[in-house]
Structures are given as C-alpha cells and as structure tokens.
Structure 1
Amino acid sequence: MREPDAAFADPRLAALYDFIEGDRSDLDTYAAIAQEVGARRVVDIGCGTGSLALRLADRGLAVFGVDPAQASLDVARRKPGAARVTWVVGDATAAARLDPVADLVVMTGNVAQVFVSDADWHLTLGAVRACLRPGGWFAFETRRPEVRAWERWPVDATELSLPGGVPAVLSRTVTEVALPLVTFESTITLDGEELRSVSTLRFRRRRDVERDLDEHGLEVIDVRDAPDRPCQELVFVARRLGP
C-alpha cells in the first residue's frame, strides 16, 4: 500500500497533529458504536496518534491501534495510559494477523479515503473481514462527494502559537481535483523551515461503498449521518457475514 503522508510520518509534523486537529468530537460516534454493539476487543485501523484507541482503553476495552506511520505511533505511546493499548506498526493487513479476532474494527476520520486505488481498498476490506469474529462489526466514515468539501479546505497563511508559545504559520492548498480523487498540500512553517505534506483522498459514492462491502462479506446494517459534520459525511456500520 502507499506510504503514509508526511503529516503522519514526519516526526516533526506528527508531534503537531493533535494540536492542529483540535476538537475530536468526531470520535464520539465511534465510542458510542463500541458501546452499542457491546464490543470488548477493538481494532483501530489508521489509529494515528491514538486518540480513540486510548479513549476506548480507558473504558476497559482491549484495543489494538494499527498505523503504518511509526512517528504517529511514537506520539501515541507517549500519552498517559498508552500501555493499555497494543500498538502495531503496519497497514490493515497487519490487523488481519492479530489473534484473537475483534468484535469491532473502526476507521475514523479520513482513513477510509486514503486508499485511493481499488487494489488497496479491496485488500483493506478483506483484511477487515479477516480480523473480525463472525458477526463482528465494522464502522467507518467517508465524505459525500456531492458536498464538494474540498472547496472549503484552502487555508491562507495563518499564524499559530504552538504549545510552549512557539510561533508557526499554517497554510493549505487544493492542488488537483480529478474526481474521484482530490489532492491537497498542507504547509507548516516552523523556525524558518517549511514542512510540507501532500495528501490525496478518494471520494466514493454510497452505492459503490455498499457494493464493495457486500463483495467482501460485510453486510451494511446502517448508514448514519456524522453528527459533527451533518449532511456532509456518511458513517457506515456493517457486520461480518458467515463463519
């Protein structure tokens, strides 16, 4: 699969991720789903700096945080309570090798959209199914392409005060829209150095996602609105079929 973006793989940028992202109310949805389905073992694919993984572990759940970006996991491991989570460096195929299998697999934020090729996406869905117990649950979100969220992504150069009062400048530019792919570049200028990260996301239509899930033995049980971005995203809740 493709290498993780610099925003997650560069230690200097990974260390700033939580500060830049700020409010993570989007994770409330996944915490609620874990409780709703009675999950005891959860695999968080693309866990990043571990915000959800740690939150679920605080509830007493057995959590596996899986991410291909070592720098992001290094940030996660430094957080309070990190020892309660099993951190795994790798993509979804690494999750498929975990034992025993999970009650719930989650992919939060933009994780489902970073798989821009059909090959990577289908490999990921196969791995998700492989690490779920029969009847286990899969929850993830994806942006509605018709909303054209990328039109609101550009950010003019904006001054920030990082933790410790360190000054920085953030900017973001959408560099290409070639649907279903959208590419954007984020830059943080810190101590006179520009730290850049180029990201590409794939915007899949609902019917295409439902078809792909079905092909991998994952039955869509519910498709919900994302409370933190009403009418902009879809949260899929699917269940593994068969033995």
Structure 2
Amino acid sequence: MPDLHYEEPLLADLYDLDSGWSIDRDFYLSLAGKPPQRILDLGCGTGLLCHAYAGLGHAVTGVDPAKAMLDVARRKPNGERIEWIRSDAQSFRSAERFDLIIMTGNAFQVFLEDRDILATFATMRDHLAENGRIAFESRNPALDWPSRWNRDADLDAGGCIIRQSRRVLAMTDKRIAFDTIYALGDRTLVSSSALLFLSRDEIEARLTASGLQVEAVYGDWACQPFDAATAEEMVFIARAA
C-alpha cells in the first residue's frame, strides 16, 4: 500500500508544494528526444513530468498505485491527453511498448524486497520498444542520510501554513524507516515510510539478472560521473541486453 502522504487526498493535494518542478525533472524531460515518443512514467505521482512530456507532443502513460495522486494528476493541464493507470510497477501490463520508461523521485527505493525489484525491472524490460531506454535514480548509500532527513519545514498552502516534520526512526539492514508528520491546524497526520539503500554494484547486478544492460551511471543531474564517496544520487540509464 502507498504511504499516507501519497494516498490521503488532503496530502496528495499538497504534494507539489514540497516536490515541485526541479533540476531532476529537467534531466528526465531532456531524455525524451524529438516528439512524438512513447513514454511510460512508473510511479508518476501527481504527474508533473507526464504533463510536461504531453505538452511537448509525446504519447504518455502515467502509472501509480495511489488513487489520490492520480486524482490530482488528472485535474492538471494536458490531463485528458495522458493515459492514467492505477497499478503498482510490479504488476503493470500493457500491449504498448515504450521508447522511454522512467521512475523518478527515488521511487525505486520503496521496493524493500528483491522480488519486487526484479518484478519491476521485468516490467520495464517487457515494455521496452526496440532501442528504448530506462532511466531511474537511487540515493547513494555511502552518505549520512539520517542526519540530512531530520528536519522541519513550513508549507504555504494558499496562506495556510502547514508544519512538516521528518523523523528518522531506524536504519537497519540497508533500510531507513522514518515518519513524516503534518500539522494542519487541529489535525495531525503521520505517514510512516521505509526505503532501501542499495549500492551501485547491487543495483547493476539486479539489472543484469533482469536482462538489462547499464548504459551510464551519473552522480548528478548534470551527467557528471558517479563518485561513490561524494555523489548524492546514482542515476541509471539502461537498455535491453
């Protein structure tokens, strides 16, 4: 099941305030090439990238397991031009084959078990068009993420200030468990999450086992080489082997 901050309608409406357009989305948008391309966004959330792709003339399918997020996505400009499907990445099936398949926002890390990682990579492999590419990212496990994540922030929702707090609860067996707390006037919502932090080698091994070949691994959104000691992100580009 999706975490509460994806599935609760009130929090889904607020999602773009904390996760709006950013440099990583510029990177993914640039991968599409000349339209029209067939693009699959697995874990599309509120559809920011889907709408940007559709606005450029691409044929876009957005897939997400959270109904509340898809409801927000459908209401945006270009929403009627995009195929929206409620599904998790592991079980998504379509007769369509795609030139570009993306998974953004570190969504890859929500898969805590190998069976789910391999099922997701199988979905990507099975839906690739000839010469199609896959792109996704995962955070570098060498960095001290718990110290970066314990923070408070205020979200301005049209003049209504919402206090958002993140608290890391534990880090064990390559997983970080944390709560995100939203104080909305007299109401408090708590979303509990867990993410898996695999190394570059561990991810590449699972890609290879899934019939995929790594084309590039970048350490940032400017396509600099990945440095295991300093890079925040591991950005993978892959093709069918």
Q: Percent identity?
A: 39
* Alignment equivalent of 2:157, drawn from 159, 162, 174: 162
CA-to-aligned-CA distance 1:183-214 (integer Å, 9 cap, x gap): 11101111311011111110011001111001
CA distance in 1, matches of 2:98, 2:237: 15
Q: Is the 8 A contact 1:159 1:167 kept in 2?
A: yes
Partner SS, residue 31 of structure 2: helix
Higher mean C-alpha displacement, 220-229 vs 27-36: 220-229
1:240, CA displacement in angstroms?
A: 1.1
1:204 alignment counterpart: 198
The 5-angstrom pairing of residues 182-201 of structure 1 reads: 182-201=176-195
Structure 2 runs not aligned, ≥5 long: 225-229
Deviation by residue 1:72-115 (Cα, 9 ceiling, x = unmatched): 000000111111110000011453x2222111110001211010
What is the CA-CA distance between 1:26 and the residue it aligns to?
1.3
- Which residue of structure 2 aligns with residue 123 of structure 1? 119
1:45-194 alignment runs, 5 A limit: 45-95=42-92, 97-156=93-152, 158-163=153-158, 165-194=159-188
Tell me how far 1:167 sits from its aligned partner.
2.6
Letter in 2 for 1:203: F
Q: Distance in 1 between matches of 2:31 and 2:21?
A: 19
Offset of residue 135 of structure 1: 2.8
Quote the offset at 1:179 in angstroms.
3.5
Q: Is contact 2:36–2:59 with CA below 8 Å preserved after alignment? A: no
Deviations 1:125-172 (A, max 9, x none): 11111111233211000111001223211113x444312x11322111
Contact 2:18 2:155 in 1 (8 A): no
Amino acid corresponding to residue 134 of structure 1 in structure 2: E
Distance change >3 Å, CA 35–CA 168, structure 1 → 2: same
In structure 2, the partner of 1:222 is: 216
Aligned to 2:3: 5
Please tell me the root mean square deviation across aligned C-alpha atoms, in Å. 1.8
Give the TM-score normalised by the residue count of structure 2: 0.92
Describe the superposition over 1:9-37 as per-residue Cα deviations: whole angstroms up to 9, x where unpaired. 1111111000122442211111112228x
> Which residue in the other structure is 2:236 paired with?
236
Is the deviation greater in 22-31 or in 197-206? Answer: 22-31
**Which letter maps to 1:222?**
A
> Structure 1 unaligned runs (5+)?
none
Aligned length: 235
Distance 1:201 1:147 in 2: 14
State the distance in 2 between where 1:65 and 1:160 align. Answer: 26
1:16 corresponds in structure 2 to: 14
* TM-score (ref. length: structure 1): 0.91
